[in-house]
Copies of this chain bind each other. A is one copy, B any other.
């Protein structure tokens, strides 16, 4: 199973061991909201698992996918509390099947504002 298939499987089952398999120890995460990068396996996994726990609400679906030269672009859509959210995961991976960079962009503005608020709440919650 390649790294993109493993990511899809992670999104479906939210199985943390799959995330452990595919996130490189020096991975970098870029959020839709903040400019600065989040660096290192631990923080990247925290952002991704927090985001997917929120987004995976039964309406989340990937609508398009392009994979070329170590970059996968996965477009997604979902609805959350009546708000439409459309976004892309831009995933850079290496020859070892590890994700080295994970960037998310989201539209429209209403969707970003909702995600921003929900992510802030979830990330600050005790784990």
| A interface residues (Cβ-Cβ under 8 A, vs B) | 30-35, 64, 66-69, 71, 73, 75, 84, 86-88, 90, 103-112, 116
Contacts and interface: CB of A to CB of B under 8 A. Distances in A.
A104 to B, nearest CB: 8
A65 to B, nearest CB: 8
A110 to B, nearest CB: 7
Contacts of A87: 105
Contact of A116 (B84, B109, B111): B109
A33 B109 contact: yes
Contact of A31 (B34, B107, B116): B107
A109 B32 contact: yes
Contacts of A111: 35
Contacts of A64: 71, 90
A84 B104 CA distance: 16
A18 to B, nearest CB: 24
A76 to B, nearest CB: 11
Contacts of A68: 66-68
